[in-house]
Amino acid sequence: MTIAATDRCTVISADCHAGADLLDYKPYLESKHHAAFDAWAATYVNPYEDLLADTADKNWNSARRLAELEEDGIVAEVVFPNTIPPFFPSASLMAPAPTREEFAQRWAGLRAHNRWLADFCAAAPGRRAGVAQILLNDVEEAVKEVRWAKEAGLTGGILLPGTPPGSGLPELYSSAYDPLWAVCAELGVPVNHHAGSASPPLDATEPAARAVFMVETTWFSHRALWHLIFGGVFRKHPELKLVLTEQGSGWIPGVLDMLDYYHSRLVAAASKASTAESKFGAGLAAMMGNPPSEVWRENCFVGASFMRPHEVPLRDRIGIDKIMWGSDYPHDEGTYPYSREGLRIAYADVPRNELRAMAAGNAARVYGFDLAYLDGIAAKSGPTYEELAVPLETPPADATSPVFAPGGKVRVW
């Protein structure tokens, strides 16, 4: 039986990761850094087992990625970093902010990654939206890199680093970053904030520290939302888009309620007689503009990697037009090779038009994918809507994604 194209679901992963093999970054470095790179690479020991395994080439093998993602039902991807850029001690998402002495070399390393990524995306036209990396130590240089990334075709936007306690950087609400928000708004460049990029350093030798990191890492990433809202970033730059990726989505309605509460409370207090609380609200209304929930509806999105079933009933409060599903390929906590099952466990009871929006339509709108072009590819390899409508009762025995973890099937309707 022939399956009509309209019976297949187009799936864009709004959360995948890639990077070059370590030595392959060298041609993308300015020649003045080559000697230092050779010395660094000769003694560098990669701390990540998955980047030393036989499967590490999933990060840079273009043909393998296309084949595996397509086999998994995914026709396009938003590409965040994964491997170690030159002069970094660990993956750039996890590395602490560089010191003044480290900045020049690490900035060169990130620029090399961005140029590698532009070539990597060009190898699969229309199917990869690469996310360029920046550092916040030099805003003027970051602005130049945003302009370069736009011209180079990196349609995924930029990855916003965190400013964790102790980083020495101004907080994200600081006006120091206004030129960065302005250029992103001007060029239509999405600002992405990914989990893991805003947590303070931890003592990896302590089991408790590792557990605390798991509990707190998403919270530290959430902070970007209220920093930018209360900092008035979206009032000054109403075209700016903020995407919060791999941080879950169930927290959003409650946090928006909380932010609205503080906004209304502080604005009201500022208009009253001089009190301790009135000082906290002074200037807030004029600076930030609309209430946080309105800012969310106008400017913000969530890369809700493998949305879990208990989050799905909140989709109307989050905004069906705000949610973008992701597989987190090639991480072992991602849904590959069971992305169809990952979609089923969450979205089996969701109407087709809503599923299409969360699986592809929203990502196409935010990152500029040609949905009609991708529909043509999905017509051959995408999962059928009929398949995705069947609830998943038993997860695959060898699945490693937390979407299949005990409790992941709990439904709150």
Backbone phi and psi for residue 30, each to the nearest 5 degrees, phi listed first: -60, 145
Asked whether residue 131 is domain-assigned, the answer is yes
Q: Which stretch of DSSP H or E encloses residue 14?
A: strand 12-18
Percentage with pLDDT > 90 across the chain: 85
Asked whether residue 42 is domain-assigned, the answer is yes
Q: What is the DSSP letter of 251?
A: T
Tallying the residues shown for the chain, one arrives at 413
What CATH number did the domain enclosing 293 receive? 3.20.20.140
List pLDDT tens digits, range 383-393: 999 999 999 99
One-letter amino acid for residue 70 of the chain? E
List pLDDT tens digits, range 78-106: 999 999 999 999 999 888 889 999 999 99
Tokens of 19: 């990077």
Total domain count for the chain?
1
Asked whether residue 154 is domain-assigned, the answer is yes
Q: Strand, helix or coil at 160? A: coil
Asked whether residue 174 is domain-assigned, the answer is yes
Tokens of 372: 């009609």
Asked whether residue 357 is domain-assigned, the answer is yes
Does position 402 have pLDDT exceeding 70, yes or no?
yes
Task: Tell me the whole-structure pTM to 2 decimals.
Answer: 0.95
Distance of CA 320 to the CA centre of its chain: 18
Structural domain of 95: 9-404
Asked whether residue 104 is domain-assigned, the answer is yes
Asked whether residue 309 is domain-assigned, the answer is yes
The residue among 61 and 406 whose pLDDT is bigger is 61
Asked whether residue 409 is domain-assigned, the answer is no
DSSP-derived secondary structure for 347-376: HTTS-HHHHHIIIIIHHHHHHT--HHHHHH
Q: Which stretch of DSSP H or E encloses residue 377?
A: helix 371-381
Averaged pLDDT of the chain = 94
